[in-house]
Amino acid sequence: MAGIDYTERIPNNVSLHENRRLQRALEDWQPKFLEWWQDMGPNGYQAKEVYLRTAISVDAQGWAHFGYVRMPEYRWGIFLAEPEQGRQVNFGDHKGQPAWQEVPGEYRGTLRRLIVTQGDTEPASVEQQRHLGRTCPSLYDLRNLFQVNVEEGRHLWAMVYLLDAHFGRDGREESEALLQRRSGDADKPRILGAFNEKTPDWLSFFMFCFFTDRDGKYQLASLAESGFDPLSQTCRFMLTEEAHHMFVGEAGIMRIVQRACELMREHKTDDLRKHGGIDLRTMQRYLNFHCSVSLDLFGSEISTNAANFYTAGLKGRFEETKKQDDHLLKEATYGVAELDGDRIVMREEPALVSLNERLRDDYVADCARGVARWNEVIRKHGIDFELKLPHRAFHRAIGSFAEARVAPDGRVISQAEWDAKHHEWLPTEEDKAYIQSLMVPVTEPGKFANWIAPPARGINGQPVDFEYVRLA
Ligand code: BYC
């Protein structure tokens, strides 16, 4: 089923034409999606030609085609990874049973909620990023923004397919609601906290791609383990696309760090504001913010929801099938950081209710590897500064640390100390105004804003000065 039929109105590798009811439901949703894309998608660039990749197959080799496309004409389609013959439910109470091709009735509500929560993040991020095109630091970056945006749109399609194909009328209603909620709207906000924050500038965008899209990677990887096979196949293919989004974030921050180091060496100062750069301390404050709101996306440290998702076989651990244990976890324990008066201590908790924290641990370790690569750039310039991940209890709004005041180094502090110091740890109004002042568009091919270094190479073998977006 590797090939994708592009002659269809909705490109797909799920034999949509064989299911008239589903085809009609999706064809009915398609114009509503396009209307949402026009209203809430990239502002001001809908008629421009953008050098984008489009999925043309789900093969490990060569799944994408690159070419100029106007975004509203992007072929958003439905692509599932190849089925795994004889796949089973690999964890929880149904372990060893054949993977489900249809939704098990007893888990219908739970599964729908998981799919809706995942689906809701996709249009939310497009909404958050819709004004960024106006202030792009280069055509190369502009193209990457739009690539991320169209693929988040495709991820929405992926979840809507599951809802329409497997949840009947409820699913169709949820599909509509996904186009009606709005990021940051007081009356109809997006479901998860981080997706209601603003992404007002490109530093925030790159941090978002690094930290928040990485939550996407870990959540999708856990859902890819699901016993509900269509969800597993869908998420497996989404992960292929997600990798580019994290690359955009990691490489974007790396290029800002690179430029900061160059300016520091050139002007022999770390006060880069005089020289139009972004100093490393400001970057640390943005990092603290984006890391902490993304840590919230993993839910409470102790969660019966997470235990139930696992026991039911709906959402597994990261790399579930590579783990060497009983995949039931009824007797196992897991070390969880908890608040104990004015200290943070590690306690052994039942492994099942600790699954959110375990996934957060996998995530933090992955983030740390990226931060180490940024620090390597700083070290190579002979500069004595290290970017650091904040302690997981810092600036949290969800879970057991939500009520506590904790410094980035993990010290539990008083409200008075927080009030006195938080401006050293989180972006200040002054930081935001300065970063905003740098957001001046650079649109000549091969030219880059002063605060960011050019990338080492272009996209798909094209040169860095390629015309990635045709603005004329
Ligand atoms: N904000 O036991 P708890 C991505 C709610 S990103 C607001 O703590 P649970 C992407 C929770 O819903 C990946 N509410 O948590 C990235 C629950 O509500 P109810 C998105 C929150 O349920 C970039 C209550 O608090 N995918 O793909 O174990 C660009 C207590 O729940 C938050 C998924 O999230 C929050 N941060 O886990 C584009 C996967 N956290 O039941 C895309 C699907 C918790 O009391 N979702 N709550 O009404 C899940 O697996 C789970 O819903 C969560 C929460 C991990 C999010």
Nearest CA to ligand 1 atom 37: 299
Q: Which amino acid appears at position 227 of this protein?
A: G
Q: Which amino acid appears at position 460 of this protein?
A: N
Q: Which residues of 207-244 are buried (b: 16+ CB within 10 A; e: fewer)?
A: bbbbbbbbbbbbbbbbbbbbbbbbbbbbbbbbbbbbeb
Distance 150 CA to ligand 1 centre (A): 23
Ligand 1 atom nearest residue 399's Cα: 8
To test the pocket of ligand 1, the residue of 305, 355, 396, 400 to mutate (highest count of ligand atoms within 8 Å of its CB) is: 305
| DSSP-based helix, strand, coil % in the chain, nearest 5 | 50, 10, 40
Distance 120 CA to ligand 1 centre (A): 10
Residue with tokens 């995949």: 327
To test the pocket of ligand 1, the residue of 125, 219, 357 to mutate (highest count of ligand atoms within 8 Å of its CB) is: 219
* Closest to 291 (Cα-Cα) out of 212, 206, 178: 212
To test the pocket of ligand 1, the residue of 211, 246, 297 to mutate (highest count of ligand atoms within 8 Å of its CB) is: 297
* Closest to 34 (Cα-Cα) out of 156, 134, 146, 213: 156
Strands (E) in 82-158, as ranges, are none
Ligand 1 atom nearest residue 121's Cα: 42
Element (H, E) at 337: strand 333-340
Distance 193 CA to ligand 1 centre (A): 9
Q: Which residues of 62-94 are buried (b: 16+ CB within 10 A; e: fewer)?
A: ebeeeeebebeebbbbbbbbeeeeeebbbbbeb
Q: Which amino acid appears at position 242 of this protein?
A: E
Nearest CA to ligand 1 atom 13: 216
Size (the chain), residues: 472
Would you state the pLDDT for residue 11?
Answer: 87
Query: 336: which strand partners?
Result: 347
How many other C-beta atoms are found inside a 10 Å radius of the C-beta of residue 463?
A: 11
CB 242 within 8 A of CB 158: no
Alpha-carbon span 327 to 97, nearest angstrom: 13
Ligand 1 atom nearest residue 293's Cα: 36
Distance 162 CA to ligand 1 centre (A): 19
Distance 415 CA to ligand 1 centre (A): 28
What tokens does 282 get?
């400001």
pLDDT in tens, the chain (472 residues): 445 666 678 888 898 999 999 999 999 999 999 999 999 999 999 999 999 998 877 777 667 889 999 999 999 989 999 999 999 999 999 999 999 999 999 999 999 999 999 999 999 999 999 999 999 999 999 999 999 999 999 999 999 999 999 999 999 999 999 999 999 999 999 999 999 999 999 999 999 999 999 999 999 999 999 999 999 999 999 998 899 999 999 999 999 999 999 999 999 999 999 999 999 999 999 999 999 999 999 999 999 999 999 999 999 999 999 999 999 999 999 999 999 999 999 999 999 999 999 999 999 999 999 999 999 999 999 999 999 999 999 999 999 999 999 999 999 999 999 999 999 999 999 999 999 999 999 999 999 999 999 999 999 999 999 999 999 8
The ligand 1 site (C-beta within 6 Å) comprises 114, 117-118, 121-122, 125, 152, 192-193, 212-213, 215-216, 219, 296-300, 303, 305-306, 315, 356, 398
Tell whether the torsion through CA atoms of 213, 219, 224 and 230 is positive or negative. negative
Alpha-carbon span 353 to 313, nearest angstrom: 14
Nearest CA to ligand 1 atom 4: 216
Nearest CA to ligand 1 atom 45: 305
Radius of gyration of the chain (CA): 23
Alpha-carbon span 441 to 138, nearest angstrom: 7
Nearest CA to ligand 1 atom 19: 305
Distance 48 CA to ligand 1 centre (A): 35
Distance 297 CA to ligand 1 centre (A): 6
CB 203 within 8 A of CB 211: no
Alpha-carbon span 63 to 80, nearest angstrom: 12
What tokens does 308 get?
């139930």
Would you state the pLDDT for residue 62?
Answer: 66
